[in-house]
Amino acid sequence: MNGNVENSLTAALEGRWKDYRIQFKTCRGEFSEESVHDLRVAARRLLAVLDILRAIHPHSRLQKMRRFLKGQLDNLDDLRDVQVMLVETSETQIRLPQLVLFQDHLLKQEKRMLRNARKLVQISRPSEWSRRIEKMLTALEKELNQPDFSTRLLESMDNAYNKVAELCGKLDRGQPATIHRLRIAFKKFRYMTEVIQPILANYPESYFKRMHDQQSAMGDIHDVEIILYTLTDFAEGSIRHAHKGNPSFDPKPIQRYYKKRQTDLVAEFFKKKGEIKTFWRSTPDQPFPWENKNEPIHRPSRNRRTGGDIRPGRRRQPATADRQGQEEDAQDRAGTHEAGSTNRPGLNQPLPSGGPDSENPSEEVRSGKG
C-alpha cells in the first residue's frame, strides 16, 4: 500500500458525505429521474465507505446510518425499476407494438411512485447525521494510529472479494438469481475498491472500466428478469379485467422476445465471467493481479447497446463521476441493490416480500403492482 492512509480515508468519508448532502438537496429541490439516480449513486458510494469502516471498527452509529441509507435506497427501488422498464420498452415498441398497453400501465405506476418517492425525500432529514459523521471521523483518526490498521483494511477487502469469488463459483445459467446475487456482492466490492484505490500502489485505472462493464452485463440480465416478471403480472391482471371492457393483452410475443434476449445476455456474460476473478488477489499471501507481470491482456468488449428515449428529452441518466473520475453505471441497479433479500426467485417462483438484509442494499425484483 502507498499514500497517506489517514488523508485518503478521511477524505473519502468527508467527500462522499458532502456529495450525498448535495445530491439530497438537489433531489428535494428538483425531483426528477436524473436527481433520484444521482442521489442513489451518492448513497451507495457513502455506504461503501461505511462498510469499510464497519469492518475495521464496528459501532452502533455506523449501523444506524447504514440502515438509514439502505432504507432510502429501498424506498426508491420500485421507481427505479419502472423507469428502467419504460426506457427498455420504448426502445422495442417499434418491433413489438403489443407493448403499448404495457407501457401505459408502467406510466401510471411511475406517476404514483414519483408522488410517493417525493414525499419520502421531503420528510427525510440527513442533516441530523452530521454529528455522527464527525464522531466517525474522530474514531477513524484513532484507528489509523493502530499498527495493524493497514492489515485490517486489506482484510476487509479480502472478505468482500472472497464473497464475490464464492458466488462466482455458484453461477448457474438456468438460475438468473445466481447472477443477481453475484452482481450485488460485486457492486459492493467495486465501490469499496474505489474508496481505497488511492492507497493501493500502482492500481490500474483501467480496472474500473472493466468492473463497470461486468456489472452492467449482469445488470442487463437483471432488468430483463424484472420485465418478464412484471409482464406476467400485468397479463394476469389484464385477463381478470377483460370483461369490464378493457382491451385484451397477449403477452406471448413479448415474452418470447425477452426470454430470447435473456438467453443471449446470459450466454454472453458466461463467456467473460472469468474476468471477475482477476480484480483482486486470491489469498492474502498472493500478490495483487496488477503486480503480476504475467497478467493477461484484457481487450475492451464490443460496444454495448445504448439506451433510448421514452419520450422527448428522457434518457437513462449517467451518474456524476466520483473523486477518482470513474463513471457509475448509468443504469444504477438497486438495491439497491446494497436492505432487501438477495435471494431472488426464478421467473417461475413467487416473489418474496422485501426486507432488510445485513449486508446488501435492496436488490429485490419488483412486481410493479399498484
Q: Is residue 318 a part of any domain in this protein?
A: no
Domain membership of residue 323 (yes or no) is no
Q: 37-51, 175-189, 330-344 — which is least confidently predicted?
A: 330-344
% of residues, the chain, pLDDT over 90: 38
Q: Are 86 and 103 in contact (CB under 8 A)?
A: yes
pLDDT at 42 over 90: yes
187 lies in a domain?
yes
pLDDT at site 45: 92
What's the pLDDT score for residue 302?
A: 43
User: Would you state the pLDDT for residue 127?
Assistant: 77
Among the ranges given (1-10, 132-141, 202-211, 274-283), the one the predictor scored with the smallest mean pLDDT: 1-10
pLDDT exceeds 70 at position 61? yes
Is residue 362 in a domain?
Answer: no
Query: Collapsing DSSP states into helix, strand and coil, what is residue 255?
Result: helix
For residues 20-32, give the mean pLDDT: 90
Domain span holding position 81: 5-291
Residue 49 domain-assigned (yes or no):
yes
CA distance 28 to 39: 10
Which of 170, 347, 336 lies closest to 263, judged by CA? Answer: 347
C-alpha cell at 355: 426486507
The answer to the question of residue 136 being in a domain is yes
Q: What is the DSSP letter of 7?
A: H
Count of domains observed in the chain: 1
List, for residues 215-242, the tens digit of each pLDDT value.
999 999 999 999 999 999 898 877 665 5
Reported as a single tens digit per residue, the pLDDT across 310-364 is 333 344 443 434 434 344 444 443 333 333 333 333 333 333 333 333 333 333 3
Residue 146 lies in a domain: yes
What pLDDT digit, counting tens, does each position of 69-108 carry? 998 888 888 898 999 999 999 888 888 988 998 999 999 9
pLDDT at position 4, please? 62
Average pLDDT of the chain?
77
Write the CATH number for 277.
1.40.20.10
> pLDDT over 70 for what percent of the chain?
74
| Amino acid residing at 18 | K
* Residue pair 192/51 in contact by the 8 Å Cβ criterion: yes
CA dihedral 55, 19, 355, 88 (to 10 degrees): -120
What's the pLDDT score for residue 224?
95
Q: Are 360 and 66 in contact (CB under 8 A)?
A: no
Residue 296 domain-assigned (yes or no)? no
